[in-house]
Amino acid sequence: MKVGLVCPYSFHRPGGVQNHVLGLAGWLKSVGHQIAILAPGFPPDGMLADYGLSDAEFTTGGKAVPLKVNESVARINFGFGPARKAKAWLDAGDFDVVHLHEPIAPNLSLLTLWLTDRPVTATFHSNSPTIKSWKRINEMLPGAVRRLDAAIAVSSVAAKVAKENTGVVPVVIGNGLAIDDYELKPVSGRWRGGDHPRVTFLGRYNEPRKGFHVLTAALPLVRERFPDLEVIVIGHGPAMSIDGVTFVGGVSDAERNRWLSVSDVYVAPQTGRESFGIVLIEAMACGAPVVASNLSAFVEVLSDHDGVIGHIFKTGNSHALAEAIIDSLNEPRDLRLLRGRAQAASFDWSVIGPQIVAMYEIAAENRYLAVDEAKGRARRHIT
């Protein structure tokens, strides 16, 4: 199958949707499909190669501009320039299916949706309260969302938001990861990475919704019990200095996984609007015990047949977070290692990828039926 994937967010840095598109493209290619990616920005050196992709498989949709949305900064683009690029990419790609991500906002995915006559599958990633302007765009331009041939959401909460914003009822298929890229180190001593406990935070620490402030406020309480606690912060953001906290910056995926594999607790203190929580899966893949806020997407991702893996604390409450970290540090390090790893493996691309391909097949069938029906209507109109 020739698959064209569109990501509306700039590829200049890692992000949940970007990584999902890259991972999916890499897996599709590995099982024999032809892929092409269209997204704003330019991927940094090595980013495509890390996923087994070549430079020729990426086309830039132009420069992105930062826009405040969903308590985050989205780097997206829209307008005639990106539309021209999308049209040229569609013409050159001659795709069997076009897979758009987040095509409900004014962005490159929505432009591509307007421009293509091919079967379209969409994935909804967002968990933001209904955005009135988006809802209005979808009501004003019913051809846009109704044009989708198949729809996916990454979690139940993302499906609910998609339905509220567009009326579409998507099938839930989570984010994927390549489990073999994540290192699972055996536990040999009291602590996973040396002679003292280590807590790790991962993500855009300057974005309030990622909840880094909830963690920093919890640290003094945790240190009363574990004075030698080391705190590692992985992620892009402005220079910051906090006593006892090491900012390692934006690191490669391999380096990120290495830190996670020597962490005694991975803390996810996000305060809301998470649609899935790929970071939890990544941490569990590396064997890190998880302490996470009580967000519905997080609880869904952390739940296996025996209940919730790790510790959930009251969202935004630093005291509850401190207690959860202490409880987690007091448990044997290997308690949930294999259970977390098994949960992460259930999101391996070998599991998630075929479900997405099935949605491509549904999109092709639905498109065929829609075109056939339109032809029938035209014939009835003529006779």
Positions that interact with ligand GDD (CB under 6 A): 14-17, 19-20, 125, 154, 175, 202-204, 234-236, 250-253, 256, 274-279, 282
Measured from the CB atom, the residue of 25 and 154 that comes closer to ligand GDD is 154
Nearer to ligand GDD by C-beta: 285 or 326? 285
Contact (CB, 8 A) for 145 and 104: yes
When the beta carbons of 19 and 107 are compared against ligand GDD, the nearer one is 19
Residue with smaller CB distance to ligand GDD, 166 or 175? 175
254 CB contacts (<8 Å, ≥6 apart)? none
Instruction: Give phi and psi for 274, each to the nearest 5.
Output: -85, 135
Residue 248 CB, shortest distance to ligand GDD, in Å, is: 8
Q: Is 105 helix (H, G, I), strand (E, B) or coil?
A: coil
What backbone torsions phi and psi does residue 251 show, to the nearest 5 degrees? -115, 170
Taking the complex as a whole, how short is the minimal distance between the CB of residue 194 and ligand GDD, in angstroms?
22
Least distance CB 330 / ligand GDD (angstroms): 27
> How many residues comprise the chain?
383
C-beta closer to ligand GDD: residue 59 or 275? 275
- Which helix (DSSP H) or strand (DSSP E) does residue 340 occupy? helix 337-345
CB of 331 to ligand GDD, least distance (A): 24
Q: Using an 8 Å Cβ cutoff, are 37 and 59 in contact?
A: yes
- State the Cα angle at 313 between 307 and 318, rounded to 5°: 165
Q: Which two tokens stand for residue 79?
A: 């307008």
Residue number with CB closer to ligand GDD (165 or 175)? 175
Q: What CA–CA distances, in Å, run from 125 to 170, 199, 220, 378?
A: 11, 28, 35, 37
**What CA–CA distance (Å, rounded) separates 267 from 262?**
13
Residue 21's φ and ψ, nearest 5 degrees, are -65, -45
Q: Which residue has 């090595």 as its token pair?
A: 46
* H and E: helices and strands count for the chain: 14, 17
CA distances from 181 to 25, 252, 255 (A): 16, 12, 11
Q: Which is nearer to ligand GDD, 76 or 202 (CB)?
A: 202
Query: What's the closest the beta carbon of residue 150 comes to ligand GDD, in angstroms?
Result: 17
- Reading the block at residue 377, the tokens are 């209507």
Of residues 240, 242, 283, 285, the one with CA closest to residue 265 = 283
**Residue 274 beta carbon to ligand GDD: minimum distance, rounded to whole angstroms:** 4
Nearer to ligand GDD, 19 or 200 (CB): 19
Shortest Å, Cβ 189 to ligand GDD: 26
Nearer to ligand GDD (CB atom), residue 85 or residue 182: 182
Dist. CA 5–CA 3, nearest whole Å: 6
User: Which among 69, 78, 56 has a CA at the least distance from the CA of 17?
Assistant: 69
Q: Check: CB of residue 105 under 8 Å from CB of residue 125.
A: no
> What's the closest the beta carbon of residue 172 comes to ligand GDD, in angstroms?
12
CB 362 within 8 A of CB 149: yes
Q: Give the nearest distance from C-beta 125 to ligand GDD in angstroms.
A: 4
* Min dist. Cβ of residue 165 to ligand GDD (A): 15
Toward ligand GDD, which CB reaches closer, 90 or 286?
286
- The candidate with the shortest Cα–Cα distance to 121, out of 142, 141, 95, is 95
